[in-house]
């Protein structure tokens, strides 16, 4: 059981035929706007309205360090985590230009970075610990820390919602978190570990083999009880668990959740094992270039909007897809019906 409980209900489906009827009577052949129509139905169902809206979109980047990096599982050194957080704060990262382009407000959260930041209005300090423990040898996160992460991630989303936000996306910064995601993936899906492990930030084939060997040792060393929470604690990251809490809170608040790449897909996988209904609030935005991402998407029966060969993380794929989601809402709200436009139905 979670210390922080969420009241997540499946959106009522009675509105679905009315949404479809409205869309079918817009000035176009029936079904001709394809997935834009399906997105509009999903968002209208989440919001329980025939005129859905996307208000004050927010993007939250959670940052945390991973003890497993001591074993050389990442191409990038661990000091990159705080360095990139400074880059976010200065507006120079990939996620920054996308947030500016689409007028999305960013929040940057220190969930557990191994660095002492000075107080800043640009960084939310929710640090649980300066990096997780090394799960090659021990559990990365204690149960008490798990509960704290879920609670703090949820609180950030509450603040966004209180500011008028009803659509939210998430990203991460944490060297080593593709390793943790791979272990969550294999434990929660049963997909063999070798199919879950990829290049991360840049390993060649030999590097991937070394990474797999270390993660296989960590998995073999696992002596937990096999429960969902124990797996999330043993192999998790603080930024990943805060994301899980954030996703669950967003679903409870009937917010639209935009899912980014490999790490965020494994976070929604974890969230769905705690509360399956969270999936109905989620839009999968892109299939990344990390090995295993397609497999976990298939496991979740998720069909992403984009496949651009991206693997940057930070939430960049979610923000790239945002205009398509915006288009779906504009379609249902701004297109004229056949009656309004005095056009004869032509299908």
d(CA 239, CA 66): 10
Q: Are 307 and 313 in contact (CB under 8 A)?
A: no
Q: Are 37 and 23 in contact (CB under 8 A)?
A: yes
Give CA angle at 82 (265, 126), nearest 5°.
70
Residue matched to tokens 């969550």:
184
- Tell me which residue of 76, 111, 114 sits closest to 240, measured CA to CA: 111
d(CA 142, CA 139): 7
Is 1 in a helix, a strand, or coil?
A: coil
Active-site entry in 159, 206, 314, 334:
314
Beta strands in 10-115 (DSSP E): 58-64, 105-112
Residues 6+ apart with CB under 8 A from 262: 178, 181, 198, 288, 290, 292, 293, 296, 311, 313
Q: Are 283 and 42 in contact (CB under 8 A)?
A: yes
Q: Are 155 and 237 in contact (CB under 8 A)?
A: no
Residues 6+ apart with CB under 8 A from 292: 182, 185, 191, 195, 196, 197, 198, 262
Our answer to whether residue 37 is catalytic in this structure is: no
Which amino acids are annotated catalytic?
314
């Amino acid at each position: 059981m979670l210390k922080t409980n969420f009241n997540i209900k499946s959106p009522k489906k009675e509105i679905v035929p009315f949404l479809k009827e409205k869309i079918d009577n817009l000035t176009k052949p029936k079904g001709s706007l394809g997935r834009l129509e399906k997105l509009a139905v999903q968002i209208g169902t989440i919001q329980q309205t025939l005129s859905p809206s996307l208000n004050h979109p927010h993007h939250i980047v959670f940052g945390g360090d991973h003890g497993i990096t001591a074993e050389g599982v990442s191409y990038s050194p661990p000091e990159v985590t705080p360095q990139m957080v400074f880059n976010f704060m200065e507006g120079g990262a990939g996620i920054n230009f996308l947030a500016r382009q689409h007028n999305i407000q960013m929040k940057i959260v220190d969930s557990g970075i191994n660095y002492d930041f000075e107080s800043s209005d640009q960084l939310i300090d929710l640090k649980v610990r300066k990096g997780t423990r090394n799960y090659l040898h021990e559990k990365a996160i204690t149960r008490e820390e798990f509960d704290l992460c879920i609670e703090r991630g949820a609180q950030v989303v509450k603040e966004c919602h209180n500011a008028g936000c009803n659509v939210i996306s998430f990203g991460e910064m944490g060297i080593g978190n593709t390793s943790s995601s791979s272990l969550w993936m294999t434990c929660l899906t049963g997909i063999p570990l070798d199919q879950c492990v990829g290049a991360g930030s840049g390993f060649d084939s030999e590097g991937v083999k070394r990474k797999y060997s270390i993660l296989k040792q960590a998995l073999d060393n696992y002596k937990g009880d096999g429960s969902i929470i124990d797996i999330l604690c043993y192999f998790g990251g603080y930024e990943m668990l805060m994301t899980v809490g954030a996703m669950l809170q967003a679903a409870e608040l009937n917010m639209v959740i935009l899912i980014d790449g490999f790490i965020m897909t494994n976070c929604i996988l974890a969230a769905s094992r705690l509360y399956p209904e969270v999936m109905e609030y989620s839009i999968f935005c892109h299939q990344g270039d990390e090995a295993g991402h397609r497999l976990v998407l298939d496991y979740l029966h998720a069909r992403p909007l984009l496949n651009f060969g991206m693997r940057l993380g930070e939430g960049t794929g979610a923000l790239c897809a945002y205009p398509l989601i915006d288009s779906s809402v504009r379609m249902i709200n701004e297109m004229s019906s056949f009656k309004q436009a005095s056009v004869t139905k032509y299908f």
